[in-house]
Amino acid sequence: MPRIIPFKAVRPTRDKVSLIAARSYDSYSAAQVEARLRDNPFSFLHIINPGYKYDKIISGKERYTLVKNRYQEFKEDEIFIQDEKESFYVYKIVNRDGLVFHGIVGAASTQDYENDTIKKHEDTIEYREEIFKEYLDTVGFNAEPVLLTYPDNDEIAAFIAEVIKERAEYEFTTTYRDTHYLWKVDDSSILKKISGIFSEMDTLYIADGHHRSSSSCLLAKYKKSKNENHQGDEPYNYFMSYLIPESDLKIYEFNRLVKDLNGLSKEEFLIALDASFRIENREQEYYKPSKKHHFSMYLDGDFYSLYLRKGSYEINNALDALDTQILYTTILAPILNITDVRNDKRLDYSHGKKDLSYVKSVVDKGEFQVGFGLLPITTEELKKIADEGLKMPPKSTYIEPKLRSGVTIYEF
């Protein structure tokens, strides 16, 4: 019984939302960050990069405190205003590729995360969890929702369809040519109904935001330990989420790039691959795999198709059947000696929106020696991994929609 509740969001004024909304900080180059901080005084980047004001790189607790200060200044200047009523927020995104995403912004329970009612498919890194927990504890808000997905539901679909007939509270297009729409719903009877529909579902799944949700769970435990009057309904027991139906989820693959062949010649490498794969040289044909357990490889100016040999690989669970795991088990670890896929500097990743032409270009430049192309993982595969309590290899999925920070803010 997932618990999804409305909340009083802190939001930008309508005239400034397009200026404030920002992508994830890591998605900007240093030059892009500099340009936005220099030219746009309302960018949310000013809040999360407060050292810019002092022309100084600031980190740790000092930075977190300054983030809180900048955020409070935006509120004092009435750039951000908190809604008076608890609300759900219907959020629609039309991206530049024409994909349309519809969902609801609400608050999800950390208890549901802890008891696996909200299921995970990725491992988290403990030190990153702790760092972000400390950050949240200092600043006191979530600014970017965790992306959750739920089984398609006719009642929620009908609710969203009715809401979006009205004029949106926000409608703005980003420089990435994605258009965002937001509607506020604060009718108490409707809020109760929507919460009730979610509570009847068996499970929700994290699509994107594993570290944000796990850090929120750590924060809730910490706050509980410090609060003698803990009741369980305090705001710190929830984290902001954007819930979309499974049919709206768009999953791209992450291709793999490797800097060297672990001391092997090209011929020795191909012979080693032959033990597990049927190999065909496609020469200049841009070969993209069309079936599970088929892979593309670009090596020394040629594309190759790699088909996993039947009987050469044993599948015992959902993880074994995952192409990213197969690539690791048959090539990266035993042949290329890449055993720590999270930290090995010889391995890099390229999400599928960049396609195989990017893989070809960086190999041709000599930045990498070989590249591998994969098929995207499906939503069903993602769910099976989570249902079996397993974890995908890192960079197994590149998931859209990608959300903006600063459009709705959840305080705790």
The predicted model scores a pTM of 0.92
Looking at residue 124, its pLDDT comes to 82
Cβ(255)–Cβ(359) under 8 Å? yes
Looking at residue 323, its pLDDT comes to 97
Looking at residue 310, its pLDDT comes to 87
Looking at residue 126, its pLDDT comes to 84
Residue 388 and residue 374: Cα distance in Å, rounded? 23
- Split at pLDDT 50, 70, 90, the class of 32 is very high
Model pLDDT for residues 49-66, shown as the tens digit of each residue:
999 988 888 999 999 999
Cβ(405)–Cβ(22) under 8 Å? yes
283 and 319 share one domain: yes
198 and 323 share one domain: no
80 and 186 share one domain: yes
Q: Is 388 part of any domain?
A: no
Model pLDDT for residues 306-355, shown as the tens digit of each residue:
999 988 999 999 999 999 999 999 999 999 999 998 889 999 999 988 88
301 and 238 share one domain: no
63 and 192 share one domain: yes
Looking at residue 64, its pLDDT comes to 97
177 and 279 share one domain: no
In angstroms, the Cα distances linking 366 to 118, 202, 301, 361, 370 are 43, 49, 11, 9, 9
Model pLDDT for residues 147-202, shown as the tens digit of each residue:
999 999 999 999 999 999 999 999 999 988 999 999 999 999 999 999 999 999 99
Residue 255 and residue 68: Cα distance in Å, rounded? 38
State yes or no: cis peptide before 401, omega within 30 of 0.
Answer: yes
Q: Is 17 part of any domain?
A: yes
Q: Is 330 part of any domain?
A: yes
Looking at residue 13, its pLDDT comes to 97
Looking at residue 170, its pLDDT comes to 98
210 and 302 share one domain: no
The CATH number for 343's domain is: 3.30.1760
237 and 367 share one domain: no
Q: Is 136 part of any domain?
A: yes
Please name the residues in contact with 370: beta carbons below 8 A apart, sequence gap of 6 or more: 257, 258, 261, 269, 297, 298, 299, 363
Q: Is 389 part of any domain?
A: no
Cα-to-chain-centroid distance, residue 141: 18
Looking at residue 184, its pLDDT comes to 98
Cβ(255)–Cβ(324) under 8 Å? no
What value does the mean pLDDT take over residues 83-105?
A: 97
Looking at residue 302, its pLDDT comes to 97
Q: Is 387 part of any domain?
A: no
Looking at residue 147, its pLDDT comes to 98
What value does the mean pLDDT take over residues 290-300?
A: 96
Looking at residue 112, its pLDDT comes to 98
Q: Is 331 part of any domain?
A: yes
- SS3 readout for the chain: CCCEECECCEEECCCCHHHHCECCHHHCCHHHHHHHHHHCCCCCHHHHCHHHHHCCCCCHHHHHHHHHHHHHHHHHCCCEEECCCCEEEEEEEECCCCCEEEEEEEEEEHHHHHCCCEECCECCCHHHHHHHHHHHHHHCEECCCEEEEECCCHHHHHHHHHHCCCCCCEEEECCCCCEEEEEEECCHHHHHHHHHHHHCCCCEEEEECHHHHHHHHHHHHHHHHHCCCCCCCCHHHEEEEEEEEHHHCEEECEEEEECCCCCCCHHHHHHHHHCCEEEEEEECCCCCCCCCCEEEEEECCEEEEEEECCCCCCCCCCCCCCHHHHHHHHHHCCCCCCCCCCCCCCEEEEEHHHHHHHHHHHHHCCCCCEEEECCCCCHHHHHHHHHCCCCECCCCCEEECCCCECCCEEEC
101 and 144 share one domain: yes
Q: What's the total number of domains in the chain?
A: 2
Model pLDDT for residues 348-401, shown as the tens digit of each residue:
999 988 889 999 999 999 999 999 999 999 999 999 999 999 999 988 999 999
298 and 184 share one domain: no
Residue 158 and residue 164: Cα distance in Å, rounded? 10
- Split at pLDDT 50, 70, 90, the class of 283 is very high
196 and 309 share one domain: no
> What tokens were used for 3?
């618990």
Pairing of strands 100-109, 88-94: antiparallel
β-partners of residue 253 are: none
Q: Is 46 part of any domain?
A: yes
Looking at residue 34, its pLDDT comes to 93
Does residue 125 have a pLDDT over 80? no
Query: Which amino acid makes up residue 390?
Result: L
What value does the mean pLDDT take over residues 20-43?
A: 92
311 and 238 share one domain: no
What range defines the domain where residue 199 resides?
Answer: 4-251+401-411
Average pLDDT of the chain to the nearest whole number: 95
Which of 366, 58, 396 minimizes the C-alpha distance to 256? 396
